[in-house]
Structure 1
Amino acid sequence: MATGKERFAELLDSGDFAMITSFRQTYIDVLKLYYFVGRMPEAVQCFAEDNDFAEVRTIQKRILAAYEQDFSKHAPHELVPKLCMLWNSIPSQLAKENKKFLYGLVRDGGRAKEYETAILWLTDCSLVYKISRVNAAGLPLQAYEDLKAFKLFVLVVGLLGCIFIFQNFLVPSTRT
């Protein structure tokens, strides 16, 4: 809607699937933009005004840096390193074909007990979603939840993409 495509949003709301299908490629293109930009107001406004992908990434990096600074300001001091390790592990956890979140990928030998409070802090602050696996498709869905098998997702898809790109392509590798 911020890019002037209000009529396409209204069409989705109308449920006219025959007409929606005729604009399939437009919806795909807009969805790709959403995946990149996300929904942070400053990034959306910047993109709507300038269509500048590089500036959107700059804004996203600034938002992510502010989040990490907030860890130090608002979280208990002993929790901050765990928060940073969890936060930075999310993109690589999602990139792998793991069926669930693996604490050993956060830190060698990592265990659930060490990170429970950090995960709770991130979810309570609405920085991540904790999505549990379900064992069967039935209603209510919560009745089939496997609470020990979950994945963490960054709340804003554009920020997730920024974290992934920044971690994997823009930071000099220390690997040999």
Structure 2
Amino acid sequence: MLKKIAALTLCTVVCLGGCAVNVKTEQKPQASITLDIINRSSQDKLTAVYFEESYDCFGIKSIVVNSSQRNITVSLEKKPYQTIYIKYVGSTFDGANFHPRSCSTSYTFRADESDAYTVILENVYNNCDVEVRRDVLTASAFLIQKVKLNSRQPAATVPALSSGPWCEAVEAFKG
């Protein structure tokens, strides 16, 4: 009888032990977008970053630093708006002298209407040229649509070694 009670107790403990095991629930994968960056000024060094928060450009994340890559692909969390900052540094030689070439700019664009965007960057005579496009596929046509860019002003002061805020806050981009 004692053996039966011990066996029954052991069986109960083993069965109930299975109930105590944490069952991992499958998490829904986070939605993302792809940015295909085309660098048309690969003779200059490109630094590009994006911000986790577009409201005031908080949470700086690097895409590339001092790169001469022509094509860069990055996957970002899908949010209503994305804010990117680019900076080019380089020089040209006219046969006698080197002339510095540099520009920097920040833009925010709507990024929840597609899963993929093409970002075209270029340093044109010390002026950063940025264009963002998205592909639109309809039943009757395939279009490449320009995405409206919103220029961002740098923040008045940014604490050293901080992650922001890097631009003036814009209520429309609060997410």
Same fold (TM over 0.5): no
TM-score of the two chains, using structure 1 as the length reference: 0.23
Which one has a larger percent strand, Structure 1 or Structure 2? Answer: 2
Larger Rg over CA atoms: 2
TM-score of the two chains, using structure 2 as the length reference: 0.23
